[in-house]
Amino acid sequence: MITSKLPNVGITIFTQMSQLAAQTGAINLSQGFPDFDGPQALRDAVGRHIASGHNQYSPMTGLPALRQQIAAKIARSYGANVDADNEVTVTPGATQAIFCAIQAVIHSGDEVIVFDPAYDSYEPSVELAGGRCVHVQLGLKDFSIDFEKLSAALSPRTRMIILNTPHNPSGALISRAELDQLAALIRDRDIYVISDEVYEHLVFDGVPHVSVLAHEELYQRAFVVSSFGKTYHVTGWKTGYVVAPPALTAELRKVHQYVSFCGVTPLQYALADYMAEHPEHVEELPGFYQAKRDLFCDLLAPSRFSFTRVTGTYFQLVDYSQIRPDLNDVEMAMWMTREHGVASIPVSVFYQHPPEGQRLVRLCFAKREETLREAAAKLCVI
Q: Helices 13-24 and 329-340 sit at what angle, rounded to 10 degrees?
A: 20
pLDDT digits (tens, 9 = 90+) for 111-131: 999 999 999 999 999 999 999
Name the strands in the sheet holding 111-116, side by side, starting at the edge strand that comes first in the sequence.
Answer: 88-91, 240-243, 222-227, 192-196, 158-164, 111-116, 132-137
Alpha helices by DSSP H, listed for the chain, are 13-24, 40-51, 64-78, 94-105, 122-128, 147-153, 176-186, 216-219, 228-231, 246-259, 265-277, 280-300, 329-340, 369-379
pLDDT of 274 reads 98
pLDDT of 193 reads 98
> Percentage of residues in the chain with pLDDT exceeding 70?
100
pLDDT digits (tens, 9 = 90+) for 230-286: 999 999 999 999 999 999 999 999 999 999 999 999 999 999 999 999 999 999 999
pLDDT, averaged in runs of 10, over the chain (382 residues): 91 93 97 96 98 98 98 98 98 98 98 97 97 97 97 98 98 98 98 98 97 98 98 98 98 98 98 98 98 98 98 98 97 98 97 96 98 98 96
Phi, psi of 312 (to 5 degrees): -165, 170
Instruction: Please state, in angstroms and rounded to a whole number, the distance separating the CA atoms of residues 20 and 359.
Output: 21
Instruction: Please state, in angstroms and rounded to a whole number, the distance separating the CA atoms of residues 238 and 223.
Output: 18
pTM: 0.97
Contact yes or no for 239/268 (Cβ under 8 A): yes
